[in-house]
Amino acid sequence: MKLTSLRRWHWIVFSLIVGPLFGYSRQQGLKDLLHNFGNSITGTRNFENLIMGKVGDRHMFEDLRVFKQIMPDDQGIVRPVYVVVGQAFMGDYEQEDGKPVAHWHPMFFATAPPYRPRMNIDQLNTRDAPKLAEQFREIPEPTVMDFLSMAGAARGIKYRHAWWYELGIGSWTLVSFVVLGLVWPTLLNFMLFRSWRRPRGEKRTNPADRSTVETAQAPEGADSGSIK
């Protein structure tokens, strides 16, 4: 099938099939955290030690991205869980040019709200922000993102909200509809026909409606019915 034979409605139908399938497969794939984001950091205290610790001028847990996902917690109860993914230093050194060099590896930490810090958060209060700990305690149901925001204000911890991991089947269906069903056919028309809209094709004619029919005529002066 040629691209020129595909109409816009074909692309719309295609987009409404691809979007849900992609969204579902992505949701299922993200459930395998070990496969996607490396090893797990076990325990809130270990997580906080990595967040606060530094090796030279680098944080022990850096390049942080956080997203919310519906999955079973430690007790097997299905609920919203916040996942922190990044690169962690776990004491690994490798020899490069005869010198030990620290190496960071992909790791993640998953925790359900409310987030209860194991460290004394009062030590995060600074001269410029003396009420960080108090503000955190006032949050009714704090998440690990609230903790990272507090740690960021006190120690320069940076993280990104990885919202693209949170898109569900409905969101991916909408994205597929807009991109494949609307934008792509328009661009395709411009590339093929130099127009944003597909030009109208010639109207088909019905052979039964033709007013003239070609017939074979015998040459003048010829007597096809006589035999010499």
35-58 pLDDT per residue, tens? 889 999 999 999 999 999 999 889
Percent of the chain residues past pLDDT 90, beyond the cut: 41
At 73, is the pLDDT very low, low, confident or very high (cuts 50, 70, 90)?
low
pLDDT of 118 > 50? The answer is yes
CA dihedral angle for residue 71, residue 74, residue 80, residue 85, rounded to 10 degrees: -80
Q: For residues 79 and 70, what is the distance between their CA atoms, to the nearest angstrom?
A: 5
Cα–Cα distances (Å) from 222 to 71, 148, 216, 219, 228, in that order, read: 93, 103, 14, 6, 12
0.75 surpassed by pTM: no
Question: In this structure, are residues 134 and 124 in contact, taking their beta carbons and an 8 Å threshold?
Answer: no
**Taking Cα atoms as reference points, which of 139, 53, 69, 77 lies closest to residue 109?**
69
